[in-house]
């Protein structure tokens, strides 16, 4: 048989570095290990084959040779394939482990020293298992020069290509542990994002998070089956034999969840409304495939099997186009989707190409897909956080619009009442005083100068009041030409000079109206908060005081009578603002 040249160490290291870059979380398998150089040969299984006859054919050089260090695809055949793996000299007779990576979903049987042993992901009978690969501990009695014969059982599906390694036991243990750390980290990241998204979905009652959680969970599940992580180390023995059903079902569900998630996340309704229909159809179609696959009706199962791959390809293109269109039309989230999802799509496309015999050197694609899942989960979570931020910003704007008077931009009556109520409800004993302001003869001003001039006057008054008051004072527009200001921590005696200042300030305002300027004045009622007061009762007393100010000639401040002893002279209750010259 023609001797095959194995890849030099530098090449292998280069491939490992590619894995590091693409895998992002690549911890262990990225480090190159000095595996024994191997020769490989194979042929399809025939009906009257015996292991001895196959080995004899191998020794006679009649099998098809291949390089075990590269990914090798054994065609789907009815009976399966024989594979012979032999070390190149110098032979190592120490403790060795033969590994098959990535682990095939079908069973492989090793025949050595006249004994057979089955290797399968969902085989829980053997004590020692490889993680993320099939592993067989070579018996010490088998000489290093002896070829190892394997029989790959026929697979109903197109089988993924595999590569073989023969490693010293210690080196294998180290690589196995590194892979476990790497895979656990990837799965932990994805699981954390799923749990976080579920909490958000429940708390915020936003189904986008639920679709996201479903999508990432399905992807995790697919990776868990493909890498064998669910079987070893998780030992989900109940899943044994179910992989051929559970795998395609999880794939179809993940596409359905991804479609529903991306539709809401990228706001297709706003940015690409026409693409919503095919994407909803894709999600519905995938769910139908799941139902057909689980129906146990042979015809439906067969049809579902045939439709899955073409629909996957169409779906991938559709989601990609929709995301690009939405991103181009201004959807921020679509960029997050593209950043997280495109690497995974590329990896999936490359893995599919490998199933058809391309890219045999890229043996890191499977682990990179695992890391790609974790990377995507993080990027999409960042996208969801960004979306929450944008929604909060929009909500703040709406809230501000709802709380503020459109003309004067001070708090409107509802918002002012709410905030004043919570201030009064805050039980800390402290003085609180309310000013009730009503512009004088405003109807006259409107009638003479027009409604627009009246509006300008209201805006100018609101600005003047806001400037004159402290930021902590609660200013609001209570009605047409009525304003209220709640002065927290202020006694009526302290509030009177403030109210007088406001009175003067309003009276000094110059509101241009045609050739002349308007003269404004305001009457202010002052009332102190008493025990058991609510906003309504406090406003009522301040309103009464304001009427008193009106009755006394307007353009003045009046303190509500009950808040000062009846014996007090009228002076401190009534502040008259001098008429403007
Ligand atoms: N321009 C303008 N006018 C308003 C607005 N809201 C209420 N008004 C007017 O304010 C006037 C209030 O008139 P009245 O309640 O009779 O009070 P007044 O004319 O100020 O008289 P006194 O309060 O007794 O001094 C009415 O003519 C309302 O139409 C507004 O947003 N813009």
- Is a pLDDT exceeding 70 seen at residue 33? no
Percentage of residues of the chain with pLDDT beyond 70: 89
Percentage of residues of the chain with pLDDT beyond 90: 70
What domains appear along the chain, each with residue ranges and CATH number? 9-176 (2.60.40.2380), 177-401 (1.20.1070), 413-576 (3.30.70.270)
Q: Which candidate, 304, 340, 295, places its Cα nearest to that of 319?
A: 340
Name every residue whose Cβ is closer than 8 Å to that of residue 457 and which is 6 or more positions away in sequence. 439, 442, 445, 509, 511, 518, 520
Q: How many CB atoms neighbour CB 326 within 10 A? A: 26
Please report the atom of ligand 1 found closest to the CA of residue 407. Answer: 31
Substitution site in 409, 477, 481 for ligand 1 pocket (most atoms within 8 Å of beta carbon): 481
Name every residue whose Cβ is closer than 8 Å to that of residue 358 and which is 6 or more positions away in sequence. none
By alpha-carbon position, which residue is closest to atom 27 of ligand 1? Answer: 443
d(CA 215, CA 244): 20
Look up tokens 């006259």; give the residue. 444
Residue 522 exposure: Cα atoms within 13 Å on the Cβ side: 31
Least confident of 9-18, 170-179, 342-351, 446-455: 9-18
Average of pLDDT values for 370-388?
95
Angle at 317 between CA 314 and CA 319, to 5 degrees: 105
Is 208 within 8 Å of 383 (Cβ atoms)?
no
Distance 50 CA to ligand 1 centre (A): 106
Please report the atom of ligand 1 found closest to the CA of residue 446. Answer: 1
Distance 442 CA to ligand 1 centre (A): 5
Substitution site in 454, 521, 554 for ligand 1 pocket (most atoms within 8 Å of beta carbon): 454
Please report the atom of ligand 1 found closest to the CA of residue 451. Answer: 1
Mean pLDDT of the chain: 88
User: Cis before residue 410, ω within 30 degrees of 0?
Assistant: no
Q: Strands of 81-87's sheet, edge to edge?
A: 64-66, 38-44, 81-87, 148-152, 108-112, 115-119
d(CA 550, CA 440): 8
pLDDT value of residue 21: 47
Least confident of 27-31, 36-40, 508-512, 569-573: 27-31
pLDDT value of residue 581: 39
Q: Is 450 left (phi over 0), alpha (psi -120 to 50) or beta?
A: left
By alpha-carbon position, which residue is closest to atom 16 of ligand 1? Answer: 443
Which span out of 103-112, 156-165, 353-362, 471-480 was modeled with the highest average pLDDT?
471-480
Tokens at 279, concatenated: 């994407």
Distance 481 CA to ligand 1 centre (A): 5
Q: How far is residue 229 from each of residues 62, 177, 191, 365, measured CA to CA in Å?
A: 38, 13, 14, 16
Look up tokens 């003869």; give the residue. 441
Tokens at 188, concatenated: 């932990």
By alpha-carbon position, which residue is closest to atom 13 of ligand 1? Answer: 443
pLDDT bucket at 517, cuts 50 / 70 / 90: confident
Q: How far is residue 254 from each of residues 244, 316, 554, measured CA to CA in Å?
A: 16, 12, 73
Substitution site in 442, 511, 521, 524 for ligand 1 pocket (most atoms within 8 Å of beta carbon): 442
**Ligand 1 — pocket residues by CB below 6 A?**
407, 438-444, 446, 451, 454-455, 458, 480-481, 550
Tokens at 386, concatenated: 């960004």
Look up tokens 């291949």; give the residue. 66
Distance 559 CA to ligand 1 centre (A): 23
């Amino acid at each position: 048989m023609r001797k095959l040249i194995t890849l030099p160490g530098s090449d292998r290291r280069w491939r490992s570095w590619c894995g590091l870059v693409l895998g992002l979380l690549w911890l262990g398998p990225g480090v190159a290990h000095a595996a024994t150089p191997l020769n490989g040969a194979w042929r399809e299984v025939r009906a009257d084959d015996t292991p001895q006859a196959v080995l004899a054919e191998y020794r006679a050089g009649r099998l098809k040779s291949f390089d075990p260090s590269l990914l090798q695809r054994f065609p789907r055949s009815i009976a399966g394939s024989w594979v012979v793996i032999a070390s190149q000299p110098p032979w190592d007779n120490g403790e060795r482990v033969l590994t098959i990576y990535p682990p095939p979903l079908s069973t492989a049987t090793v025949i050595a020293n006249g004994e057979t042993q089955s290797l399968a992901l969902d085989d829980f009978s053997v004590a020692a298992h490889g993680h993320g690969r099939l592993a067989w501990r070579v018996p010490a009695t088998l000489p290093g020069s002896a070829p190892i014969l394997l029989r790959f059982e026929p697979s109903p599906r197109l089988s993924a290509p595999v590569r073989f390694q023969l490693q010293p036991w210690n080196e294998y243990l180290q690589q196995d542990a590194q892979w476990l750390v790497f895979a656990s980290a990837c799965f932990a990241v994805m699981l954390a994002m799923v749990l976080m998204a579920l909490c958000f979905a429940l708390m915020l009652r936003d189904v986008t998070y639920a679709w996201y959680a479903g999508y990432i969970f399905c992807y995790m599940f697919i990776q868990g089956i493909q890498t064998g992580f669910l079987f070893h180390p998780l030992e989900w023995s109940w899943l044994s034999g179910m992989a051929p059903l559970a795998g395609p079902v999880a794939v179809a569900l993940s596409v359905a969840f991804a479609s529903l998630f991306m539709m809401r996340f990228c706001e297709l309704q706003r940015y690409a409304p026409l693409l919503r229909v095919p994407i909803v159809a894709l999600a519905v179609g995938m769910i139908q495939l799941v139902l057909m696959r689980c129906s146990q009706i042979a015809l439906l199962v067969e049809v579902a099997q045939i439709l899955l791959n073409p629909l996957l390809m169409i779906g991938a293109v559709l989601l990609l186009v929709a995301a690009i269109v939405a991103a181009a039309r201004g959807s921020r989230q679509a960029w997050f989707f593209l950043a997280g999802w495109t690497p995974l799509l590329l990896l999936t496309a490359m893995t599919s190409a490998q199933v058809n015999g391309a890219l045999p050197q890229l043996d890191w694609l499977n682990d990179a897909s695992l890391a790609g899942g974790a990377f995507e989960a993080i990027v999409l979570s960042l996208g969801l956080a960004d979306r929450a931020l944008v929604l909060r910003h929009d909500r703040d704007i709406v809230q501000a619009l709802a709380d503020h008077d459109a003309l004067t931009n001070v708090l409107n009556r509802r918002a002012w009442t709410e905030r004043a109520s919570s201030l009064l409800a805050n039980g800390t004993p402290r003085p609180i005083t309310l000013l009730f302001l009503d512009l004088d003869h405003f109807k006259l001003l409107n009638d003479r100068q027009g409604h627009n001039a009246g509006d300008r006057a209201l805006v100018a008054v609101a600005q003047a009041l806001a400037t004159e008051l402290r930021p902590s004072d609660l200013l609001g527009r209570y009605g047409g030409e009525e304003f209220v200001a709640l002065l927290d921590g202020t006694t009526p005696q302290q509030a009177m000079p403030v109210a007088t200042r406001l009175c003067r300030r309003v009276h000094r305002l110059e509101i241009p109206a045609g050739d002349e300027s308007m003269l404004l004045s305001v009457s202010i009622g002052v009332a102190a908060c008493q025990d058991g007061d609510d906003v309504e009762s406090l406003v009522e007393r301040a309103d009464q005081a304001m009427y008193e100010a009106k009755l006394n000639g307007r353009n003045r401040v009046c303190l509500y009578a009950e808040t000062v002893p009846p014996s007090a002279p009228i002076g401190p209750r009534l502040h008259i603002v001098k008429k403007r010259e």
